[in-house]
Amino acid sequence: MGMTMSQKILAAHAGLEEVTAGQLISAKLDLVLGNDITTPVAINEFQKAGFHQVFDRDRIAIVLDHFVPNKDIKAAEQSKQCREFACAHCVSHFYDVGKMGIEHALLPEQGVVTAGDCIIGADSHTCTYGALGAFSTGVGSTDMAAGMATGTAWFKVPSALRFHLTGRLPANCSGKDVILMIIGMIGVDGALYKSMEFTGPGVAALSMDDRLCICNMAIEAGAKNGIFPVDAVTEAYLAGRCERPPVVFEADPDAEYEKTIEIDLSAIEPTVACPHLPENTRPARTLGEIKIDQVVIGSCTNGRMEDMEAAYRTLRGRKVAQGVRCIIIPGTMQVYRDCVEKGYVTAFIDAGAVVSTPTCGPCLGGYMGILAAGERCIATTNRNFVGRMGHVESEVYLASPATAAASALTGYITAPEEV
């Protein structure tokens, strides 16, 4: 029996000719990732286990992004511990204030990850890098500690679901609408410990930013990873960017999938996930008048340049509705700079929005936009669990940047074509 794309990558990194779903393997890692919340825990475990050096200073990335610039004393202490560890072990890819960005937007941009890689990260949205044709998955901080010391990790080889994409997205729709629709279709456990592999002629019509967004939220369907094939779009993105040459893996024609799900991209419409699960999706046009207090455009899901462009197209020359707080967070310093140079930041400020330096911030209820009891937010983030962005009696609605920006103008959840 043939292998899926993910299985081929895992087999290569395990030094095996083939692997099968459910098999336990030990695989070599191309990158181990942590952030300012998870890395301190990993450092403690690293030291407790008696490790004294990392396996490869060039294969570890530590990104301070969740509470940076530091929001309080605890955040400052966590960041200090990361800085001291990175300095002591000469970690090449250490990103602090002024150079940092939201980790899953930053590492592809900086060429730290590439096609064919096997990557673990102590953050659940590490599955983002599957957009580049890598096997990439989130782990706990103890696994991160072991990975930093040994350069290996244990995996149970996942089975796979195939999503066969056809057609092209309509105007005002993006990868966020695609993945919300899929999660609404299969549920938050519909791909539990499976690989979500995206194939078909529709793949070519998706931008790299669309693909990064889709793979980012594979975890919200319970998936072990999401992955796209390497095509001309991928190759153009990687060209001249990556520090390691890409390695292209393709699924075998007779690869075994548990199920194939057909997705017609032309039938996608602006979609919103209502509280309190990402699977609770509805077309934006059907929601009626749901008043909002806050809009957040950013996160590791939607903080890239195309996301900023979508917000700009909607907000330019207009005003955020009275009583609505609109918070825009570019995903990296490069995205921030591009927004400044293109005049987007001025347009956002003129519209009545506030623009932050890159941070995860409000996504996990950290800072830069905590909700009070009874408040509602429409956000381009990835989770809308109870209390995710603040008070347990607040509500979070997930949407694309175009839908979030349109809603900022009306004060109600609004489909982009309605403004």
What digits encode the pLDDT tens for the residues 66-76?
999 999 999 99
pLDDT in tens, 181-207: 999 999 999 999 999 999 999 999 999
pLDDT of residue 37: 96
Give the SS3 label for residue 233: helix
Q: What number of H helices and E strands is found in the chain?
A: 12, 18
Over range 330-356, report the average pLDDT.
97
Residues 134-157 have a mean pLDDT of: 97
Find the mean pLDDT for residues 251-270.
96
pLDDT band at 1 (very low <50, low <70, confident <90, very high): confident
pLDDT the model gives residue 186: 97
pLDDT at res. 288 = 87
Q: What does the domain layout of the chain look like in residue ranges?
A: 5-264, 271-414
pLDDT, average across residues 309-330: 97
* CATH fold match for the domains 5-264 and 271-414: yes
Q: What pLDDT does residue 51 have? A: 96
Residue 284 token pair:
């934006």
Residue 132, CB half-sphere, CA atoms under 13 Å: how many?
A: 31
Average pLDDT over residues 217-234: 97
> DSSP for 284-323?
GGGS---B-SEEEE-TTTS-SHHHHHHHHHHHTT--PPTT
Looking at residue 418, its pLDDT comes to: 78
Mean pLDDT of 345-371: 95
Q: Which CATH number fits domain 271-414: 1.10.800.10, 2.40.50.100, 3.30.499.10, 3.30.70.980?
A: 3.30.499.10
- DSSP helix/strand/coil, 260: strand
Quote the pLDDT of residue 17.
Answer: 94
List the 194-199 sheet strands across, edge first.
225-227, 194-199, 159-166, 259-264
Q: Of all residues in the chain, what percent carry a pLDDT higher than 70?
A: 100
CA angle 320, 337, 270 (to 5 degrees): 45
3-state DSSP of 183-228: HHHHCCCCCCCEEEEEECHHHHHCCHHHHHHHHHHHHHHCCCEEEC
Q: Show the tokens assigned to 242.
A: 């990556």
Mean pLDDT of 222-239: 97
- Cα separation, 43 vs 237, in Å, equals 33
Residue 417 has pLDDT above 90, yes or no: no
pLDDT at 44 over 90: yes
**Mean pLDDT confidence for 159-166:** 97
* H runs (alpha helix) in 321-417: 333-341, 344-351, 401-410
Task: Answer yes or no: CATH 3.30.499.10 is held by domain 5-264.
Answer: yes
Overall pTM > 0.75: yes
| Residues shown for the chain | 419
